[in-house]
Amino acid sequence: MSLSRSARLGAAATAAASFLVVAASSAPTPGAPGIGDPYFPQLGNGGYDARHYDLDVAYAPDTGRLDGRTTLTARATQKLSSFDLDLQRLEVTGVQVDGRRAEFSRDGDEMTVTPRRALSEGRVFTVSVTYGGVPEPLGGPIIFGSAYGWMKTGDGVFVACEPNAASTWFPSSDHPADKATYDIRIKAPRGLTAVSNGRLVSTYDKGGSTYTHWRESKPMATYLATATIGKFDVRTGRTPGGIPVYVAVDPVLKNSGGVDVYGVTAAATDYWSQVFGPYPFEETGAIVDDMPQAGFSLEVQSKPVYSAVRNETTIVHELAHQWFGDSVSVARWKDTWLNEGFATYAQWLWAEHQGTRSAHDSFLAGYNARPADSAFWQTEVADPQRDTMFSSAVYQRGAMTLQVLRERIGDKAFFELLPAWTRLHRYGNADTDDFVRLAERVSGRRLDDLFGTWLFTTGKPAL
């Protein structure tokens, strides 16, 4: 069969147009400047998957200055003409991609890096950033009105970065949906101890400085990274179950509050390993620092940091986060009840384990203490909004949801569900829908009414 001249010209034009579309679609494009979280639209970055961070930082407590070099290993998830990193306020003096100088620009908290050649999809690459300055903590209503992030202390620094302050001290894809492993090297004045995530690889003195190398070999969200520096009394050992322990306590707090941080940490780590599934990290521990300006503690991966809050209940809460929040992290910040509701419920389980009060009675105490017209009941727990994402309702009503679930499906199914959740999403990310589906699968029951009432509806539910 033959074609007329006009038909042949038409076919050629169509083929040319198709070629242009294919060529255009395969051209390198910039990575998105944010990961798409509605609470923090610019946090995280598109176009690549973070794999590993090498952080090399030097801190001078007398001036507050930080000098650093961060090397991020990542895999391109599209053809990249450029990509972004999150970095707040610090000055950048040089950028390299795969060892070659790269152009960069700054726009607020976003840094755009343009490599000499576009990066092909699937390519593993490195970006190294040299930077410095005086990091500033963040503030505002999110963390109970407290400052958070990189916070100067009398003898060093206290570093607790939830939800968006990791990028105040190192360039990153600063969102929990983009986890990576870490090597963290810290230079500090001789006589101070630098404590970070994972296991201690090495520490040595040279001249007037101490050099410390920590390695977190399990995937970690950026906000869980720390480089806390100060004078600490350090105790190491193993839990009765054999998990390595590293506890650092500021000497001025040695007898503060009368709590045995080491003992409670060891006991709670072992107990949660029985209830929630195997401990997900290489080491457990604590960093207890004299930082009363920070009115919170944080579930830093492998070693929670404790500031003005130091008691047994806080310790068991932060250690429960090692499973709920650290190993299984939220896909988006609106699902933070999956962190805080679970850790609060762990406090109720601890009291039940200790024989002081049942989880049922803890539920009733919280439920009955708040009248129906209380503002507490006006928060939609499954989407509490950015500035109130850590409100008491997220913690307490989240825990109440779990107790109602336990009483609906029974202890057998409930205590199968918790380790199933941590096993299914180990070192990954999940959301509320994932939990609802798993709860229905484990229990064999429809539960949309329960979760709809307790998580997605305002007002005090009737019992």
Distance between CA atoms of 356 and 365, rounded to whole angstroms? 14
The predicted pLDDT at position 336 comes to 98
Q: Give me the CATH code for the 31-143+156-227 domain, please.
A: 2.60.40.1730
Q: Please compute the mean of the pLDDT values over residues 298-327 and round it to a whole number.
A: 94
Q: What is the pLDDT of residues 157-170, one digit of tens each?
A: 999 999 999 999 99
Strand-strand pairing, 48-60 and 100-101: unpaired
Bridge partners, 96 (sequence order): 101, 128
Q: Please compute the mean of the pLDDT values over residues 284-312 and round it to a whole number.
A: 90
Report the share of the chain in percent with pLDDT over 70.
94
The predicted pLDDT at position 364 comes to 98
In CATH terms, is domain 232-310 a member of 3.30.2010? Answer: yes
The predicted pLDDT at position 278 comes to 98
The CATH 1.10.390.10 domain(s) of the chain lie at: 329-455
The predicted pLDDT at position 134 comes to 98
Handedness of CA 144, 147, 153, 156 (dihedral sign): positive
Comparing 206-210, 230-234, 289-293, 420-424, the range with the smallest average pLDDT is 289-293
The mean pLDDT of the chain is: 94
The CATH 2.60.40.1730 domain(s) of the chain lie at: 31-143+156-227
Comparing 25-34, 73-82, 333-342, the range with the smallest average pLDDT is 25-34
The CATH 3.30.2010 domain(s) of the chain lie at: 232-310
Q: Give me the CATH code for the 329-455 domain, please.
A: 1.10.390.10
Among 438, 347, 450, 378, CA closest to 407: 450
Q: Which two tokens stand for residue 371?
A: 């009248």
Q: Please compute the mean of the pLDDT values over residues 372-399 and round it to a whole number.
A: 97
Q: Is the pLDDT of residue 12 over 60?
A: no
Q: Is the peptide bond before 278 cis (omega within 30 degrees of 0)?
A: no
Contacts (Cβ under 8 Å, ≥6 apart) of 434: 425
